[in-house]
């Protein structure tokens, strides 16, 4: 197996930044690439700040780490000595394919090309190269230095050796909040494990939002149904990540998984009206004075949310993940969800009463007329119980 020394991180935004920092902390030489000097300067300053903070805690020597960091605007020359490349640019397939092609044409033959895409096909990116066996997915969770999970994804043509290298590099990257957890994703399917597991909850969420619209219930009342779990309630979080992001993800899932994922009336209307949340100042909430802090103890609940439905949806999707051969067992799915989302996966808790959850989902899917939410064969049969 090749000894990995030089890592190139392409795209120095939110994710690339964190990925470059943990790569430096693991002792690699790191080159960051982006399209403007201003963005690169900002990224370098932010990494320096992060390293200095860690130095004050006695974790590392900031100057030594910084001495292994380079920044470049020229992708072709930046990858000339690369052993391992991590692409973290915008979530657009044509841009990612262009980058894979340029890397393939300029990097040494042994170099691995990995993508940090959240959901898109590694196989398609690899098709832009002549080294599909050396292309893999390497999906971090935000922020990369703090979230424990990295999913390492096999494209259709990825070699076992490339996967092993990807897993080895992933395990070598420190995490500031506990041990790294590396999940091997055996099949290149949209959303991989964790994003896939959580995506059909969006079908239920769209249904709930559209019900609020029809019945004239304020959206904050729906948010109140969830209460204050974690740092942000679901609708504050949707505003924070961007209504446009949710809209695009739902459409991508509709095109690649099932039509039932299409955004509902509320999300489509908000998208069309430019009510995108934090970035435009208005979404479900008003962001003009900073992050909204709804006081749920004072807001009337909508009384629409059934948490059991969320659990059943999640177990069903986990079973689809197993059925499609994406993960080797339900423990990996549960552990990956905990490491990537700070939330327990559905199986450990739900397995005891799995028949009840199947029945609940069956009734719910019929009620809202969703084909996709119907329990899949593996869930219905209970055979997943032994697929730990
Ligand atoms: P971002 O918008 O913060 O950063 C993207 C960076 O790529 C920007 O600095 C942009 O200038 C640069 N870029 C665009 N085209 C380029 C090119 N041709 N060459 C070099 N640099 C280029 O985006 P973010 O959030 O960091 O996402 C990057 C990737 O990571 C996406 O594929 C996204 O789906 C994925 N991802 C995002 C997560 C998140 O929570 N934001 C979590 C996990 C994965």
Kindly list the domain boundaries of the chain, sorted by start residue: 6-188, 196-298, 307-386
pTM for the model? 0.94
Confidence of residue 232 (pLDDT cuts 50, 70, 90): confident
Helix (H, G, I), strand (E, B) or coil at 120: coil
On whether the CB atoms of residues 120 and 91 are closer than 8 A, the answer is yes
Assigned CATH for 196-298: 1.10.1040.10
Residue 183 sits at φ, ψ, to 5 deg, of -105, 130
Q: Which helix (H) or strand (E) holds 183?
A: strand 181-185
> Is 307-386 in CATH node 1.10.1040.10?
yes
**Are the folds of 6-188 and 307-386 the same?**
no
CATH superfamily for domain 6-188: NAD(P)-binding Rossmann-like Domain (3.40.50.720)
What is the C-alpha separation between 307 and 290, in angstroms, rounded?
A: 30
On whether the CB atoms of residues 104 and 80 are closer than 8 A, the answer is no
Query: Is the CB of residue 183 below 6 angstroms from any atom belonging to ligand 1?
Result: no
**Ligand 1: centre distance to CA 203 (Å):** 26
Residue nearest to atom 8 of ligand 1 (CA): 13
Instruction: Convert the pLDDT of each residue in 12-30 to its tens digit.
Output: 998 999 999 999 999 999 9
Distance, first Cα to last Cα, the chain: 30
Pair of tokens at residue 8: 């190139």
Query: Is the CB of residue 16 below 6 angstroms from any atom belonging to ligand 1?
Result: yes
Instruction: Convert the pLDDT of each residue in 92-150 to its tens digit.
Output: 899 999 999 999 999 999 999 999 999 899 999 999 999 999 999 999 998 999 999 99
Helix (H, G, I), strand (E, B) or coil at 181: strand
Confidence of residue 241 (pLDDT cuts 50, 70, 90): confident
pLDDT value at position 300? 96
Instruction: Convert the pLDDT of each residue in 67-82 to its tens digit.
Output: 999 999 999 999 999 9
Which residues are catalytic, by number? 118, 139, 151, 195
**Omega before residue 303 within 30° of 0, cis:** no
Residue 18: which residues within 8 A CB-CB, separation 6 or more? Answer: 140, 142, 143, 144, 145
Helix (H, G, I), strand (E, B) or coil at 115: strand
On whether the CB atoms of residues 165 and 13 are closer than 8 A, the answer is no
Helix (H, G, I), strand (E, B) or coil at 81: coil
Instruction: Convert the pLDDT of each residue in 172-209 to its tens digit.
Output: 999 999 999 999 999 999 999 999 999 999 999 999 99
């Amino acid at each position: 197996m090749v000894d990995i020394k030089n890592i190139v991180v392409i795209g120095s935004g939110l994710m690339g930044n964190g990925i470059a920092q943990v790569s430096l902390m693991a002792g690699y030489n790191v080159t960051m690439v982006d399209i403007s000097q201003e963005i690169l300067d900002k990224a370098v300053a932010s990494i320096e700040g992060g390293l200095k903070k860690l130095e004050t805690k006695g974790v590392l020597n900031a100057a030594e780490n910084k001495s292994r960091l380079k920044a470049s605007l020229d992708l072709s020359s930046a990858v000339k000595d690369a052993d391992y490349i991590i692409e973290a640019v915008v979530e657009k397939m044509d841009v990612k394919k262009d980058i894979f092609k340029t890397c393939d044409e300029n990097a040494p033959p042994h170099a691995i090309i990995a993508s940090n895409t959240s959901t898109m096909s590694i196989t398609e990116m690899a098709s832009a190269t002549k080294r599909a066996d050396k292309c893999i997915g390497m999906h971090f969770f935000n922020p990369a230095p703090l979230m424990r999970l990295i999913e390492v994804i096999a494209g259709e043509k990825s070699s076992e050796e490339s996967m092993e290298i990807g897993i080895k590099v992933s395990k070598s990257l420190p995490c500031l909040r506990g041990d790294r957890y590396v999940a091997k994703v055996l099949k290149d399917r949209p959303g991989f494990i964790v994003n896939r597991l959580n995506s059909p909850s969006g079908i239920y969420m769209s249904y709930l939002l559209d019900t609020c619209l029809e019945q004239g219930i304020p959206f904050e009342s729906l948010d109140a149904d969830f209460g204050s779990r974690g740092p942000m309630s679901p609708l504050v979080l949707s505003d924070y990540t961007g209504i446009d992001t949710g809209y695009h993800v739902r459409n991508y899932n509709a095109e690649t998984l099932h039509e039932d994922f299409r955004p509902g009336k509320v999300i489509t209307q908000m998208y069309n009206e430019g009510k995108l949340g934090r970035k435009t100042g208005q979404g479900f909430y008003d962001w003009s004075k900073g992050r909204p802090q709804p006081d749920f103890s004072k807001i009337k609940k909508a009384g629409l949310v059934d948490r059991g439905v969320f659990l059943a949806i999640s177990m069903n999707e986990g079973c689809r993940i197993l059925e499609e051969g994406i993960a080797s067992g339900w423990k990996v799915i549960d552990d990956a969800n905990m490491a990537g989302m700070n939330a327990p996966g559905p199986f450990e808790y739900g397995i005891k009463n799995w028949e009840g959850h199947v029945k609940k989902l069956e009734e719910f899917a019929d009620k809202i007329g969703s084909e996709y939410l119907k329990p899949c064969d593996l869930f219905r049969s209970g055979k997943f119980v032994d697929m730990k």
